[in-house]
Amino acid sequence: MSAGFKGMDVVSIRDFSREQIEHVLKLAEKMVPIAKGEERSVLLEGHVLGSLFYEPSTRTRLSFDAAMTRLGGRVLGFDQPAGASVAKGETLADTIRMVDSYSDVIVLRHPQEGAARLAAHFASRPIINAGDGAGQHPTQTMLDLFTIRKEKKKVEGNNVVIVGDLKYGRTVHSLSEALAMFGADLTFVAPPSLQIPKEHLKQIESLGRKPRISGSLEEVIKDADVLYVTRIQKERFPDPAEYQKVAGMYRIDLPMLKDVKRDLMIMHPLPRVGEISSEVDATEHAKYFDQAFNGVPVRMALLGLILGGLK
């Protein structure tokens, strides 16, 4: 089953079959005690991960660091391009060529859509896309699926309501396609200007799913099994006035949860900036902090497969 994983680039969720993703999730299960520090591992001892973050990150960068370190590997790189030669005008291609010769695998986050694909072209080592502009975020999708499976046993058949910035939100782009592949029902809630782009809708429909499109969360929340909330991606708006029009449009608070299913799970890739009120954190619905932890075992499994320590 692991055939094809070793040395593989992870650029888009479309690069993976359902069986491959299921294999990652199964191995991630076994990684949980190591991720928690309850067991030790030297699976990736002697391996080096190059971590290049051209955009802010907390969870993605630190969970890749934690995953690599917990497996005995090392991490080098930067999280502030201002401190690297990028600030002197070095191109992405040149930076990638350098880090390619210093490490065994490269994790890249970049504001430009397509940056990971470009990096994969210049690197001989595997490239893992940790978010390319408004493009994709495939490893986030794997941890999202892991989280849903853990709570609901399976992904198939769940009604997943995705709300927020579906236009610029890269987590949604990868996740919605994967959910369609896994046979979930999808409902997209956003103002018309931030609805899911056609490209993704087409992919979802080609997988035999017919998503519901809505502007009103109140209308659809009662039937949801999973509510996936996202931040309006302020940094991607060409016009700040356009952002102001949609900022704060959706907010999950206790009154909003009055009539929801008892086992509704609420997810968010985080960071949140007001989309989920903190009073929701204490409810049984809140799964976003578990979700953030799940990034560690899932990225461990993926790194183990790509670097060849796992089969």
Among 50, 77, 131, 297, binds ligand NCD (CB under 6 A): 131
**Contact between 141 and ligand NCD per CB under 6 A:** no
51 is a site residue for ligand NCD (CB under 6 A): no
Taking the complex as a whole, how short is the minimal distance between the CB of residue 235 and ligand NCD, in angstroms?
9
The tokens for 149 are: 């499976």
Cα–Cα distance between 138 and 294 in angstroms, integer? 14
Does 110 bind ligand NCD (CB under 6 A)? Our answer is no
Q: Which is nearer to ligand NCD, 77 or 131 (CB)?
A: 131
- Residues touching ligand NCD, count (CB under 6 A): 10
- Cα(234)–Cα(58) distance, integer angstroms: 17
Left, alpha or beta for 79 (phi > 0: left; psi -120 to 50: alpha)?
alpha
- State the nearest-atom distance from the C-beta of 219 to ligand NCD, in Å: 24
Our CB check for ligand NCD shows the closer of 73 and 269 to be: 269
Binding mask 55-74 for ligand NCD (x = CB under 6 A): ----xx--------------
Among 171, 174, 176, 187, binds ligand NCD (CB under 6 A): 171
Half-sphere exposure of 272 (CA within 13 A, CB side): 20
Closest to ligand NCD by CB, 57 or 103: 57
> Rounded to 5, what percent of the chain is helix, strand, coil?
45, 15, 40
Give me the DSSP letters along 228-284: EE----GGG-S-HHHHHHHTT---B-TGGGTTS-TT-EEE--S--SSSB-GGGGGST
Contact between 176 and ligand NCD (CB under 6 A)?
A: no
Q: Which residues bind ligand NCD (CB under 6 A)?
A: 59-60, 131, 137, 140, 170-171, 231, 269-270
